Amino acid sequence: MTSKVLVTGATGLAGANICRQLIERGDAVRALARPTADTAPLVALGVEIAAGDITDAADVRRAAKGCDAAIHCAALLGGASQNMADFEAVNTRGTAHLLDAAEAEGLGRVVACSTGTFFDTTTGLDREDAPVSREPSSDPYTLTKMAAFQDVMARAERGMDVVSTHPGAIYGPSPVVSNALAITSFNRVLLSALRKRIERYLRFPVSWVYADDVANGCILALDQGVAGERYMLDGQPHDVVSIAEACNRICALAGVEHHVVDVAPSDDPELAAVFGPTLVAIAEKRDQETDVRRPLQETKTWKRLGYDPISLDEGLRRTTAWLKEIGKVS
């Protein structure tokens, strides 16, 4: 039976690939998108566009009407701006608007896409079960996404059919090219390395995950997840490497002679000016942690969903081919 799925953040890297995969398998898709968003690629796929903003509860309610389920990807990422009010409006209240609309309109499953930066693994529990950190990174992105996650889990405890997915660092092709190469995207960093325009980057362990795998993981959570559970949509455990290392790998795979150097995070104001306060805050916290990953086959995400992402090297090869295809590298 064909379902109609509401997707928020549909022009983003994860959201656009989710829309494409849902359409390819025969679902109807409605995307909530601002009137100024680049929705033409989604329309070409067959996606219905509901004009509106995640910060407007009435817009979200109208978009949810007549849908069977929702995948919520809309988020304000951590760029140079650190206006807490903006982050709260999108990440925290926007999530509440979607959950409220889902309950009011009688939607079934809701998949809420979050982040994995605020879990406390010092207790020995894996991030799939670890508690929320009492001392998370202090940046607005982390704090507002954490508050949204807590709202999701509270509603699940009250009986709502909602699950949470937590992607790593998303990279790779997208139907919406303009957003896939936005200034805050990991694609932009990889492209800069291929163009030899980046010499250094903050050092911290990054769980790289191919965009198509994130989309597939969210759809698997939609179909097979259990209400109240969280699923970590990372890449392969052995592919947790720094941004500089990923840049060097893509250059080597593409035959580009260029090397990017790791820079240790610190309170140097220049680092915040170059990389943004959000990234510096996350880097400082992650650099102090020991990031030990279990084999994928031992995780709840694999056992419950069958989630099996491609390797970083294979993802970088495909990303390079896509960047060549769209004329960004020769």
Distance CA 165, CA 153 (A): 12
- Condensed to tens digits (0 to 9), the pLDDT of residues 246-296 reads 999 999 999 999 999 999 888 888 888 888 777 787 787 777 666 567 788
Is 325 domain-assigned? no
Determine which of 57-71, 84-98, 130-144 has the lowest per-residue pLDDT on average.
130-144
Distance CA 259, CA 270 (A): 21
Is 98 domain-assigned? yes
Is 49 domain-assigned? yes
- Condensed to tens digits (0 to 9), the pLDDT of residues 117-127 reads 899 877 777 88
3-state SS of 154-204 is: HHHHCCCCEEEEEECEEECCCCCHHHHCCCCCHHHHHHHHHCCCCCEEECC
Distance CA 146, CA 112 (A): 12
DSSP 8-class letter at 295: -
Q: Which of the four pLDDT bands, split at 50, 70 and 90, describes residue 82?
A: confident
- Between 76 and 78, name the one with better pLDDT: 76
Is 324 domain-assigned? no
The confidence score (pLDDT) of residue 291 equals 59
Task: Say whether pLDDT at 69 is over 80.
Answer: yes
Is 321 domain-assigned? no
Task: Say whether pLDDT at 130 is over 70.
Answer: yes
CATH number at residue 93: 3.40.50.720
- The whole domain housing 47 covers 4-175+207-236+293-310
- Condensed to tens digits (0 to 9), the pLDDT of residues 2-49 reads 699 999 999 999 999 999 999 999 999 999 999 999 999 999 999 999
Is 70 domain-assigned? yes
The confidence score (pLDDT) of residue 120 equals 87
Order of all β-strands in the sheet with 162-167: 48-51, 28-33, 4-8, 69-72, 110-113, 162-167, 230-233
Is 89 domain-assigned? yes
DSSP 8-class letter at 31: E
Is 107 domain-assigned? yes
Tally of structural domains, the chain: 1
The confidence score (pLDDT) of residue 270 equals 84
The residue type at 26: G
DSSP 8-class letter at 251: H
Q: What is the mean pLDDT of the chain?
A: 93
DSSP letters, 112-165, are EE--STTB--TTS--TTTPPBPSS---SHHHHHHHHHHHHHHHHHHTT--EEEE
Distance CA 13, CA 167 (A): 12
